[in-house]
Chains A and B, each alone.
Chain A
Amino acid sequence: QSVLTQPPSVSGAPGQRVTISCTGSSSNIGAGYDVHWYQQLPGTAPKLLIYGNSNRPSGVPDRFSGSKSGTSASLAITGLQAEDEADYYCQSYDSSLSGLHVVFGGGTKLTVL
């Protein structure tokens, strides 16, 4: 059971727009901690996609965007391409009783139809 909740899967046709949600609580996203997103292509290490809720690292297409509101965050992908088929993870921090921890969502598998 992940601290951050993501849908297990989403899908869309090429050219369409999809969103992936990431729901947390008052001890993580709601406490003001930033949300970051990672893309993991099959058989490869995760790659930073969005940092600080809505910022794109150099080289990430502007088809990818992130937002945060309250205890949730979202990743939006517009103009879907076949190469976007991957697993996507959100990440934040959580100030639980046992200290400040990095937390991940359970991951969302994006299928391009």
Chain B
Amino acid sequence: AQSVTQLDSHVSVSEGTPVLLRCNYSSSYSPSLFWYVQHPNKGLQLLLKYTSAATLVKGINGFEAEFKKSETSFHLTKPSAHMSDAAEYFCVVTPPGGGKLIFGQGTELSVKP
């Protein structure tokens, strides 16, 4: 069965410093992995997706993630945090063939001025 574990429930950074949100996955097959962001009282927005092409995936708003099969990780990074990045971030995996999305528990990112 596929699953994802987000290693931090809350991350706090200062504006202008790097962001690292950690995600480990469990999958019997080569997975499809996503990061979604949810701002307060808003729906989910796709940041980026990995579908077995390049292992370094670039997304919107300066975010990127690297797929590391040996570590079963798909961590999300951004070189410099902005106040508008404060939100809930979800790491997501899909089973082989797609279909339903399986979400992690989420990581709340706070950005201090």
The answer on A and B forming one complex is no
